Amino acid sequence: MSPTRRLFLALALACASRLPAAEFDLASAGVPEIQAAIDAGALTYEKLTRLYLARIAAYDDAGPKLNTVITLNPNALETARALDAEFKAKGRRSPLHGIPILAKDNFDTADLPTSGGCFVLADSLPYADAPTIKQLRDAGAIIIAKMNMDEFAHGGLGFSSRGGQTLNPHDPRRHPAGSSGGTGAGLAAWFSPIGLGSDTGGSIRGPASANGVVGIKPTNGLVSRTGIMPCVLTFDTGGPMARSVYDAALTLGFMTGVDPKDPLTRNSRGLGFTDYTQFLKKDALRGVRLGVIRDLAGTDPEVDRVFESALAELKALGAVLVDPVKFPGIAMANRAAVMEPIRVTEVKQNYADYLGGLRPGFPRTIGDLADAGIKLTAPQGEFLPHPSVYKRFKVLAGGPPLTSLTYTSAKQHGMPAVQGAVLGLMEDNQLDALVYPTRSRQPELINPDTPNIVDRPPTPSLTSIANVTQFPDVQVPAGLTAEKMPVTISFLGAAYSEPKLLAYAYTYEQATRHLVPPATTPGLPGEKFTY
């Protein structure tokens, strides 16, 4: 080797040795960090999937036994290997290429059973993926697991006859909220960076708050409801949950679009985006007028304390706080005045439509489903009795017809009245958005004697207002209570204001960094490395 060549190599090695090393840590890695490690050759999609599967084995099946997963995808590693090969040969399909995702068990998946947490539907294999699942898979995402949920999304404590009780990883004595509790708890334990939930009255937002992660309840109609087992279709929407605002915003873009089978999505034409990350800026709160909602203050002093601290942080970031503003009386009374007549009327027809599309051998009406469920009066293998949900379904099977004047009045007049009242509140006070603590109190302790009682006094909540108005609501971690339980704040805005709300949440998240890994699910060997 010539002296010149030796000198060149020595200089090259010296420069390389001074390059800063990158550190990968699964606990804090979002999609950009994962893809950067992949690009550097320090990680593969197969290895990434193995890391998440190892966490599920260590903490869902063993350790604190969080019980978040209903069905583990047996083909996850094979899919990851195929995506590794595709990446090497053709490049990345999208930023979600090779990223494992946790899906609530009411999203139809053609290769995995979709039971809605119900033992009667434990072997129900849909004919096709839900459009949202297909869109995510087309982007290269891997559905690594189907997650436990409150049965048929009726309830808020994370219990189902098929999956039993999911535990909160921040304190396994407490529930994870619901109905997307399995997804929320799985994300907190970092079984994946992204998850899918559904929301009828707070079922994305409650678990996001109880487990300290990010959630998006989108504008109704932005995301197709086709292939998502219904709860109350008028109020239902699917949406992303994640460990960061960026990852949630990224995922939302792959879930939007007009679906011919869901007429509500026609309203989103020209109003939705396929990339919401473009709106994420670190100074988005400067000069923004936020109306502070304190309607449920006093429910839990610790939640109030964290909220006060969050308000101070928002103000320091440049937000103008209009404090307080109160929801109009018609909005606060919406659950009884608007939601209940729609719920008791729709459920029967919603389930007849969904059950009618299943393979032969499954119940076709909510009454038949209730009859089958009520028969389970003692544990049977992995299945557990859930009498209260089936008794409720038995009552709903005799609900009024869709032609009922009470129902049509609630939809045609009640919902627009609540929507107008909330828009009026924002207009009168010149507000860009409303901010409030997502849950008014910390997750309660699980009562082992009554884990499966649906009809119990609910936690006082404001989340259902977003369902009645059909407005978007974005949650972001805001801190911990003295009991080390997470609290989130919600940004609620007008229809299709997701770009603004996500920008506000991102600015707050990046400045405060309140995501806290639970002590019960620490890092495992191989999850942290330098490259």
> CATH number, domain at 459?
3.90.1300.10
Is residue 409 a part of any domain in this protein?
Answer: yes
**Percentage of the chain exceeding pLDDT 70:** 95
Residue 239 in contact with residue 501, Cβ under 8 Å? no
Is residue 341 a part of any domain in this protein?
Answer: yes
Residue 5 has pLDDT above 60, yes or no: no
Supply the pLDDT for residue 481.
98
Contacts of 68 (CB under 8 A, 6+ apart): 60, 102, 147, 148, 166, 176, 181, 182, 183, 185, 186, 189, 191
Supply the pLDDT for residue 330.
85
Is residue 163 a part of any domain in this protein?
Answer: yes
Residue 122 has pLDDT above 90, yes or no: yes
Supply the pLDDT for residue 8.
45
Least confident of 10-19, 241-250, 339-348: 10-19
Residue 304 has pLDDT above 60, yes or no: yes
Average per-residue pLDDT for the chain = 95
| Residue 347 neighbours by CB distance under 10 Å | 23
Is residue 263 a part of any domain in this protein?
Answer: yes
Supply the pLDDT for residue 448.
78
Supply the pLDDT for residue 148.
98
CB-neighbour burial class of residue 405 (10 A; exposed 0-12, middle 13-18, buried 19+): exposed
Supply the pLDDT for residue 9.
47
The number of distinct structural domains making up the chain is: 1
3-state SS track over 450-481: CCCCCCCCCCCCCCHHHHHHCCCEEEEEEEEC
State pLDDT tens for residues 369-385.
999 999 999 999 999 99
Is residue 12 a part of any domain in this protein?
Answer: no
Residue 173 in contact with residue 142, Cβ under 8 Å? no
Label residue 10 by pLDDT band (50, 70, 90).
Answer: low
State pLDDT tens for residues 420-442.
999 999 999 999 999 999 999 99
Is residue 313 a part of any domain in this protein?
Answer: yes
Supply the pLDDT for residue 184.
98
Residue 401 has pLDDT above 90, yes or no: yes
Is residue 7 a part of any domain in this protein?
Answer: no
Residue 16 has pLDDT above 50, yes or no: no
Where b means 16+ CB within 10 Å and e means fewer, 284-311 reads: bbeebebbbbebbbebbebbbebbeebb
Q: What is the mean pLDDT of the segment spanning 114-129?
A: 98
Measuring CA to CA, how many Å separate 219 from each of 176, 270, 336?
24, 14, 22
User: Count of residues for the chain?
Assistant: 531
Strands 142-147 and 486-492: unpaired
Cα–Cα distance, 305 to 251 (Å, whole number): 32
Q: What is the mean pLDDT of the segment spanning 16-42?
A: 89
Structure tokens at 297: 């203050």
Residue 486 has pLDDT above 60, yes or no: yes
Label residue 332 by pLDDT band (50, 70, 90).
Answer: confident
pTM of this structure: 0.95
State pLDDT tens for residues 172-208.
999 999 999 999 999 999 999 999 999 999 999 999 9
Residue 4 has pLDDT above 70, yes or no: no
State pLDDT tens for residues 40-94.
999 999 999 999 999 999 999 999 999 999 999 999 999 999 999 999 999 999 9
Range of the domain at 235: 46-530
Active centre residues (catalytic): 104, 179, 203
